[in-house]
Amino acid sequence: MSTPAGLPPIFAAVSVAIAPSHRVAEFPPGTFLESIAVSTDGTLFVSSHLDGKVFRMGANGVSVVHAAIAGKATGLALTPAGDLLLTAWDADGLPVVFSISPQGAATLLATMPEAIFLNGLTPLSPSTYLMADSYRGAIWHLNLADRSVGLRLEHPLLARRSEDREFPAVNGLKIHGQMLYASNTERMQLIQIPIQPNGQPGEPEIFFEPVNLDDFAFDREGNLYGTTHIYNSVVKITPDRRITIIAEAEQGMAGSTALAFGAGAGDHTSLYVVTNGGLSFPLPSGLESARVVRLDIGIAGHQLLSP
């Protein structure tokens, strides 16, 4: 793939196998779609960072405002009860966590003044969720039963190289097997953290580098699919650390921020990607619309290209 001007050419020698893509929805240029969660009935929930909104849409791509907060919205996750968890900032810039009901009512669960930049989140158990703090270089936990929060892990591999670096450090979080994976965007590293029998984290180590990942998800075979944000693509990383680009700007990946697999029967090979149209690092052709795009990763015969 071509490297955006001014960025390290970390994907220049990576093979390309383009997956079929289908545009689901489009939003005006300047919209920063940040996160996505997919319910078992195929409903997509998408957070819009700058205006604090969560959109809801079905397979027809028609979007409606599901919920709105006074502040900025970041990470989304669905709970077993069908509620959404949303990491955010409130109107005063304080990190907060909301619960959003299936009807769209937003309830404040926690205000976290010791956090700095809450980002991706993932379930550790049905009642406990882990949350990335991109500027503190830490992972917090949230207990839904009593609404308590606490610091789970703070480590140099989760932090920025220096506090004046604007790119987020620990960003996306996902659990696969007995391992917690975390993307450190600023360091261009994918970190793995063993989960001990008591649920506490072990010692973090680098699983893959260099790779500029924002959010990511695992398929049933253990392959990781990740958005590269300012590199305008989606990549696949196999368990044996082979990397392939499966979608680029031509497939609508300008400013790819987050992704999630379909959760319904027969939809587990659909990968739903949200973008900001290149808002963080515009393409030479200019800012594009923000999009929701479906990639069909289960269809054989992707167009295979040489590096």
Tens of pLDDT, residues 100-135 = 999 999 999 999 999 999 999 999 999 999 999 999
Domain count, the chain: 1
Q: Give tens-digit pLDDT for 167-226.
A: 999 999 999 999 999 999 999 999 999 999 999 999 999 999 999 999 999 999 999 999
Q: Note the pLDDT of residue 225.
A: 98
* Position 65 in a domain: yes
Per-residue pLDDT at 305 exceeds 50: no
* Position 7 in a domain: no
* Position 244 in a domain: yes
- List CB contacts of 117: < 8 A, sequence separation 6 or more: 95, 133, 134, 135, 136, 168
* Position 17 in a domain: no
- List CB contacts of 243: < 8 A, sequence separation 6 or more: 14, 208, 211, 235, 236, 237
- Report the C-alpha gap between 86 and 216 in whole angstroms: 17
C-beta atoms surrounding 118 within 10 Å: 25
pTM of the model: 0.96
Residue 282 structural domain: 22-305
Residue with structure tokens 């305008």? 232
- List CB contacts of 147: < 8 A, sequence separation 6 or more: 109, 110
- Report the C-alpha gap between 129 and 119 in whole angstroms: 12
* Position 3 in a domain: no
Could you tell me the CATH number of the domain that includes residue 153? 2.120.10.30
Q: Note the pLDDT of residue 299.
A: 62
Q: Note the pLDDT of residue 264.
A: 87
Stretch 278-287: mean pLDDT, rounded?
A: 94
- DSSP lists the bridge partners of residue 237 as 224, 243
* Position 138 in a domain: yes
Higher-pLDDT residue of 4 and 256 is 256
* Position 217 in a domain: yes
* Position 5 in a domain: no
